[in-house]
Structure 1
């Protein structure tokens, strides 16, 4: 293939990358509606949460490693390895005969998923200049929005129509199509310089991140926050990450070059990603619970009722991406997006037992618009800020900080909610609290069985507790709203890689620079969707 990918060839490859990312995002949510059926078939109720946790843990831990590997050995082979691992995990998960096997194969899926998320976005950075990349990043944001809604719906349909095993088998034909397109249509330069992988750094980072994610997953549920297990994991996680930072200062080729954080753009963008992840994931996880308890919606119906939020995210992400590509400036979008997110969190804090469904939909749409205006823009910003040799690391770091922020957000807001709910219930008569216990683990179906007066008291206590969660979400969302003003606007490059740097790197590698990496971007009619 001569020259840079353009027109139909570019959109064909982009579609394959989107399919890969869609599968990875879909498998975060598609299992939820199948869990009761899986337990009925395989047993292992006590380990049920690990079906979700193992996937989250493996995908988050593997994210930084894939970014560095892509920079070192080439993104196409890394993407193909990731999707093959993901598909192998999907097939084996579908064939599982015990809960232990399913948890292990879900972890294998997660290892592949971490590479799909990072490699796909890094490949887009290889084939599309930053100035044009906004429109594509907007579409990537829409993939996550679609997957979050489609996951529970598709999972429920497959369980009802076929079997829970098809929740995993459905990935195989879609993934095979993505592999075929990438193998035959995507031609990227593969570095020829020999690299030394920082294995110790990778091990320290993986162990440290795993420990902290287990703290946020287990704290307040399996173990009390003050328990020896949680305290030990927290201390171990912090010490391992300190050791990782020390290792990165002395490694010839660090997994995460700490020098990148000397750039204000890189540091501010990742700080924003972390805090937005906290506010977004931490608060939004309670919206389906509100819909189920207050409006009596089924799990599937509550997924559909999230459509306004996802529609707001989708429209804002695509529109902002197209505008960025047109004007070549991005700073206004994080500023406006974070301000809208703060407003959206405040509006969610006004949700009550008597709130009309249409008004709740408006509030959710506002939150979606705020997220859509800022989330994918941050990835574009860090990619534009670093040298092409660090694109993979920059992409994986942005994804990693957002995921870690989400994990901490879910844990922190879960604790806030549980504490406030316990305080609210303590104010009710003993005859009511005797039926409710702590109230935290009360399922929507159980709540419906309560006597009318007890049910009404519980809903009021639940709504009051949610107010605090969303107000804290608003406070945390205010942090990136301030940081957005500190974000320096760096002109978006109109080439995929600076000619001088690409030439010097290729000369060192003893290879010839590929023309597609040096040609300036040409605005093409009909290139955008």
Structure 2
């Protein structure tokens, strides 16, 4: 029990358990989380639809590779910065109402994104979407952690994994179909709105959680420090080293990095003193949680990087239509579905979870390494094998890392603990997309310059290095750009595979604790 709380405000174990739903059978639980699964499906669908539609969106709105990266990064950043805030509020307020609020924010962002007429407006809308997705992510984990004991949670985490896999599969296919249809790319954002509203109705009718009021202390200072530090870090990562912006050895770099360090130190000081910290240090500093967080950061780099750049590779380097690009990612989706469902069922049956994390981390490294061999003309079956291995590895790891943390904390801390893992995974994804996107852009520029120099056309390079407007290029120049994207994307996946080794090391060091059978 937390000694810093006054005795009269300190909940007893019985009160903590009473604050949550009593244990229910599988049918009752499925009914109660139906709306949660629907809202999670809408959020994941929005993310995966956009990954396939973005090359077309950039072409229509006149965006560059940097804009491409930021349309993805802004959502991940907003998701990352707000997930621990939502998670902390889940431990203080009614989870059901917070989940519904997250859905409304997500709907608002989706509506604005669909109406966007320029890149800046689209970026603003994606920030709002990300805030809503942070609520859906944190609340979904908190609800599962509230109503289901850890020993049974593997099965339901498998259901979340299955929803993730289905939405990931439906997203590229549906996104490609919508972009190629008379509806146009704007309906990639509008499509999730009715699903989200339907999920609100389901949540209102089926999800019934008991809530015990606790003393409320919102850590607003910590929230501001957290959001500001992560934002400055990702802005620096996105633009450093680019000729049009600033270099590594520049006053902008020194200013931004120093500011991030000072804000991080201030955040640690604040979080160690406030009664209800956004990032609970006493939780994230435990062995299991800290290792799970480091592993999640590593996984986030590969997960979001794969989703962001594989669809772009198929459309730019291999001239696939959006629909065909979605179909070509099916091996990754099938692997994710299998890994999520199979590991969830096995964990529930036998109560062992670490072995699946180990296998998943190895498969993830193998899959990313195989994708790292890609060129613009690599045979598809090689890419399919890499995507399948990567998908199975992700399916084995994503939900089960959260499960390992939930099993080690008090029920009243499940929201904060779960959202902390999700937060750092999203930070890893945000940084990964930014860094890998910058790496991709730089290598594409170098490869284009080398190719044009060999043909005596170097003067054409500056206009094409960061452009995604392929439809406006002459055929000869377009072929050069396509080949450059193919070669450069392989480098991105090689770097992702190296980062994935960190997750393997962390998982090896995690101590397996038997799953408890009570909430």
TM over 0.5: yes
Deviation at 1:167, TM superposition (A): 3.8
Does residue 472 of the first structure (1) align with residue 495 of the second (2)? yes
Structure having greater relative contact order (Cα 8 Å, sep ≥ 6): 2
SS in 1 for 2:33: helix
Instruction: Give the structure 1 partner of residue 10 of structure 2.
Output: none
Deviation at 1:350, TM superposition (A): 2.3
Instruction: Give the structure 2 partner of residue 170 of structure 1.
Output: 191
Deviation at 1:62, TM superposition (A): 0.9
Instruction: Give the structure 1 partner of residue 143 of structure 2.
Output: 123
Relative to structure 1, is the Cα distance of residues 298 and 37 closer, same or farther in structure 2, using a 3 angstrom cutoff? closer
Bigger mean CA offset, 142-151 vs 475-484: 142-151
| Distance in 1 separating the partners of 2:188 and 2:491 | 36
Instruction: Give the structure 2 partner of residue 192 of structure 1.
Output: 213
Structure 1 residue ranges without an equivalent (≥5): 497-529
Relative to structure 1, is the Cα distance of residues 26 and 467 closer, same or farther in structure 2, using a 3 angstrom cutoff? closer
Structure 2 residue ranges without an equivalent (≥5): 1-19
Does residue 431 of the first structure (1) align with residue 456 of the second (2)? yes
Tell me, yes or no, if the aligned pair for 1:283 and 1:410 is still in contact at 8 Å. no
Q: TM-score w.r.t. structure 2 length? A: 0.84
Q: Which of 24, 29, 50 is residue 5 of structure 1 equivalent to?
A: 24
Instruction: Give the structure 2 partner of residue 135 of structure 1.
Output: 155
Q: Which of 268, 274, 279 is residue 302 of structure 2 equivalent to?
A: 279
Does residue 394 of the first structure (1) align with residue 417 of the second (2)? yes
Deviation at 1:435, TM superposition (A): 4.2
SS in 1 for 2:340: helix
| Distance in 1 separating the partners of 2:420 and 2:119 | 32
Deviation at 1:464, TM superposition (A): 4.5
Q: Which of 67, 70, 95 is residue 87 of structure 2 equivalent to?
A: 67
Tell me, yes or no, if the aligned pair for 2:222 and 2:270 is still in contact at 8 Å. yes
Give the number of equivalent residue pairs: 493
What does the per-residue CA deviation read over 1:408-444, in whole Å, with 9 as the maximum and x for residues that have no partner?
2223333444444555556541515444448643548
CA-based RMSD of the aligned residues comes to 3.3
Tell me, yes or no, if the aligned pair for 1:216 and 1:407 is still in contact at 8 Å. no
Relative to structure 1, is the Cα distance of residues 100 and 422 closer, same or farther in structure 2, using a 3 angstrom cutoff? closer
Q: 1:91-240 alignment to 2 at 5 Å? A: 91-94=111-114, 103-158=123-178, 160-162=181-183, 166-219=187-240, 223-226=245-248, 229=252, 232-240=255-263
Instruction: Give the structure 2 partner of residue 248 of structure 1.
Output: 271
Bigger mean CA offset, 232-241 vs 96-105: 96-105
Q: TM-score w.r.t. structure 1 length? A: 0.83
Deviation at 1:96, TM superposition (A): 6.3
SS in 2 for 1:385: coil
Tell me, yes or no, if the aligned pair for 2:229 and 2:260 is still in contact at 8 Å. yes
SS in 1 for 2:92: helix
Tell me, yes or no, if the aligned pair for 2:238 and 2:438 is still in contact at 8 Å. no
Does residue 28 of the first structure (1) align with residue 50 of the second (2)? no
Bigger mean CA offset, 474-483 vs 286-295: 286-295
| Distance in 2 separating the partners of 1:447 and 1:69 | 49
Q: 1:351-362 alignment to 2 at 5 Å? A: 351-362=374-385
